[in-house]
Amino acid sequence: MGSSPIVAPDGESGGGGGGSGGVGGGGSCCHVSMKCWCRWRCHHRLQRCLLSSGFVFSVACLALFGSLATLYARFAFAPGVRTTTGLSSFGRHDDNEGSWSVGVFFGDSPFSLKPIEAENVWNDESAAWPVANPVMTCASVSEAGFPSNFVADPFLYVQGDAFYLFYETKNSITMQGDIGVVKSTDGGATWQQLGIALDEEWHLSYPYVFEDLGQIYMMPESSKKGELRLYQAVKFPLQWRLKKVIMKKPLVDSFIIKYNNIYWLFGSDHSGFGTKKNGQLEIWYSSSILGPWKPHRKNPIYNTDKSFGARNGGRPFFYDGHLYRIGQDCGETYGRQVRVFRVEVLTKYEYKEVEVPLGLAEPTKGWNAWNGARYHQLDVQKLSNGKWIAVMDGDRVPSGNSVRRFILGCTSVAVAFLLVALLGLLLGAVKCIIPLNWCTNNSGKRSDAFLSWERSYLFSSKVRRFCSRLNRAGSYLRGRIRPNSCAGRLVLAIIFVVGVVAMCTGVKFIYGGSGAEEAYPLKGHYSEFTLLTMTYEARLWNLKLYVKHYSRCSSVREIVVVWNKGTPPRVSDFDSTVPIRIRIEEENSLNNRFKEDSLIKTRAVLELDDDIMMTCDDLERGFKLWRQHPDRIVGFYPRLSHGSQLKYRGEHFARRHKGYNMILTGAAFIDSKTAFQRYWSEEARQGREVVDKYFNCEDVLMNFLYANASSSRRVDYVRPTWTIDTSKLSGAAISRNTQVHFQKRTDCLMKFSKMYGSLAAHKWKFNDRKDGWDV
């Protein structure tokens, strides 16, 4: 892309050869008397180029595209800095191998496993009511002082009531895998970082920990070393010594198990000629874990498609007298899922296994789920109480996602650049694409090296001929499209819009992350909340859209629909990834929104009107803030009750006065126990009667009840990235007359102020928190 060729003064061509003193094409400035002339000519060319219409037009267009892309990022990306990992540069970085984390599961058998959140385990210290997967991430490892990009390959070692979990952690500094270990003494709900158990000069992973004859061993993958090494615990769990190099082969994901009084070693060797990566499995046997190891007669057992599950994916286990092997399916992407095989025959001469269903529910929230894209390692063990526990890793994005995003982003930006050039050609601002003086010419002196490269005049002339034809494309396109016509202007507008979209897409891919709207941990723990909305039959369209969108949010556990009027829908009418419960009310009252509900299993409830659409990330940010302050109303719509003449006003009034003292509970997190009990107390009876009288103001009443309970701060605001009022699309708005709606609320303010005291004494500023979410 460029402007027309620059013509040198005194008739000299910028690209062709001149006389003996010329500098064009292959001319040289070797003569001392010509140095000043060369410098002047180069400076003159640069100045002409910078002032050319093509250059100015291109810079202006790209600046405009960039400004629009920045504006798009301002509204499309979450405000403030995402602190999902809560790390500085010392911690996690975007890794092309993924963002693996570890979850805990429980069940009555290895084939009925459910995530830890189904156990409804609460932890007050981390405000996890209940604790939810994942229980360990690179954030928790990094915050303990061990910088990590991801954690994967978990293996459990159970010692009484203590659970030790060994895992691979990719060091953010050395970018190689080490073996870390954490400990849990509360049944797997919380894990204490103990440190790095094993760190070698090469990459380590798959820390298969097991016990034999009273000794604890670890056999991690050391394929980068080209060996399979066995370590013995010296001082469990942090001190280990090399016991023996079992095999001089680069085996991956290997395990040893004793079956029918013989030790069996399963592993994959991808180094052999013709071996199909992630589709190969070999077996060896021995009378001792120290060897010697003899190959199975059928080796390789598998050398097949990578989706088959040949590569090991965790610890084998016994159940109902059968041995089961866990393999990993690497078909769609590396580590897509685990598969379970029941071993039918295992002898020195034969091996046969059949696949059986694991029974583990597939993630349904897509990339918003911590294991939504893949899970490739499972360790399941039976506890002394007869219950089964399992640890599994998972990732929300496929392998190679960061590189893929970068390539797509750069491609989109390149398309935007090309469209700018096309616009310039059509408008006549860009005269040519490649100036001919950029092309080599055969006149003038050539160095020997350049002559050997150019070889002949034919090559140079072909390049110049091609460039000349390419430069004539602008005239041809202008003649065909006719930019001054109506159709031509439409084409120009389309090109401009596509260019802006391409630039915005590039920014999204490069700077917008994976697109997953993740949950935010607090003190290393994730949790869940119940989403509650109140509606009636005229707003069913809104409700279906609402359920489909919010059920995909990471921390939503259940959606409760308070049905106030009309024939209720069936649960099967909704497209939801979480359970839906329709609570049918006998009386059409706004007070039903805060009715006590013993079936709600989470402490946090998000009261969210069915006509409000916002991003899942907004909900997750609000949820994290509420977990930090569960005694407050944390929401997205601030209001200010101000002055002696009480009058209900919108958000603009609060922003003009730089503060707020109310949060509308049509979009707010509250405590399901405290808030509901407070609302249905005898103290609030008169207020509830006002709500029924006006059929309005239930959210205003809740703010007064919170403020009356304590003199400390009781509300917090989170600014949403964007919101859409879907009632305006369906024509089912409850409060269509804004003036009447505001007058009713003004009356409520005056009545509630007399009952419970004024809110005017309280006021909290915007942009008053360090997280930057209240701007």
Classify domain 529-756 by CATH number: 3.90.550.10
| Contact (CB, 8 A) for 626 and 731 | no
Looking at the annotation, which residues are catalytic?
699
Q: Which two tokens stand for residue 722?
A: 């964007």
> Do residues 709 and 678 lie in contact, with contact meaning Cβ atoms separated by under 8 Å?
yes
Q: In the structure encoding, which two tokens stand for residue 443, read together?
A: 């006149």
Rounded-to-integer distance, Cα 266 and Cα 283, Å: 5
Residue 445: its pLDDT value, please? 55
Predicted confidence (pLDDT) at residue 56 exceeds the cutoff of 50 = yes
* Cα diameter, the chain: 104
Q: Which CATH architecture has domain 101-399?
A: 5 Propeller (2.115)
Structure tokens at 608: 């969210």
At residue 22, does pLDDT exceed 60?
Answer: no
Query: Could you tell me if 299 and 85 are in contact, meaning their C-beta atoms sit under 8 angstroms apart?
Result: no
What average pLDDT does the segment 209-213 reach? 96
What confidence score (pLDDT) does residue 505 get? 92
Cis peptide before 9 (omega within 30 of 0): no
Residue range 722-766, pLDDT digits in tens = 999 887 776 655 556 788 999 999 999 999 999 999 888 889 999
Rg of the chain (C-alpha set)? 34
* Model pLDDT for residues 492-520, shown as the tens digit of each residue: 999 999 999 999 999 988 887 777 888 99
Q: What is the mean pLDDT of the chain?
A: 87
192-198 and 337-346: which strand pairing?
unpaired
Q: Lowest-pLDDT range, 291-300, 422-431, 709-718?
A: 422-431
Peptide bond into 154 cis (omega under 30): no
Task: Indicate the DSSP class of residue 362.
Answer: P
124: alpha, beta or left? (left if phi > 0; alpha if psi -120 to 50): alpha
Tell me the C-alpha distance between 396 and 100, whole Å. Answer: 8
- 467, two tokens: 């460039």
Residue with tokens 């005694």: 631
Rounded distance between C-alpha atoms, residue 700 and residue 742, angstroms: 12
List phi, psi (to 5°) of 277: -60, 135
Cis peptide before 134 (omega within 30 of 0): yes
C-alpha of 184 from chain center: 27
pLDDT at 475: 77
Mind giving me the DSSP string for 677-742?
A: HHHTSGGGHHHHHHHHHHT--HHHHHHHHHHHH-SS--EEE---S-EEETHHHHT--S---HHHHH
pLDDT at 55 (0 to 100): 77
Question: The dihedral of CA 189, 192, 197, 203: what is its sign?
Answer: positive
List CB contacts of 418: < 8 A, sequence separation 6 or more.
none
Q: What pLDDT does 455 receive?
A: 52
SS3 (DSSP) at 157: strand
Task: Decide if 534 contacts 559 (C-beta within 8 A).
Answer: no
**Separation between Cα atoms, residue 607 and residue 585, nearest integer Å:** 17
Q: Which residues have a Cβ under 8 Å from the Cβ of 176 and sit 6 or more positions away?
A: 170, 202, 203, 204
Give me the residue spans of the domains in the chain. Answer: 9-74+403-511, 101-399, 529-756
Q: pLDDT band at residue 88, thresholds of 50, 70 and 90?
A: very low
Q: Which residue has the higher pLDDT, 442 or 601?
A: 601
- Which residue is it, tokens 């007070």? 591
Per-residue confidence (pLDDT) for residue 27, from 0 to 100: 44
pLDDT at residue 89, as a whole number? 42
CA distances, 616 to each of 369, 717, 718 (Å): 12, 16, 13
Three-state secondary structure call for residue 375: coil
Tokens of 295: 């190959």
User: What percent helix, strand, coil does the chain show, rounded to 5?
Assistant: 30, 25, 40
In contact, 152 and 132? CB cutoff 8 Å: no
Q: What is the pLDDT of residues 116-148, one digit of tens each?
A: 999 999 999 999 999 999 999 999 999 999 999
Instruction: Output phi, psi for 309, to 5 deg.
Output: 100, 25
Reported as a pLDDT band with limits 50, 70 and 90, residue 9 is: very low
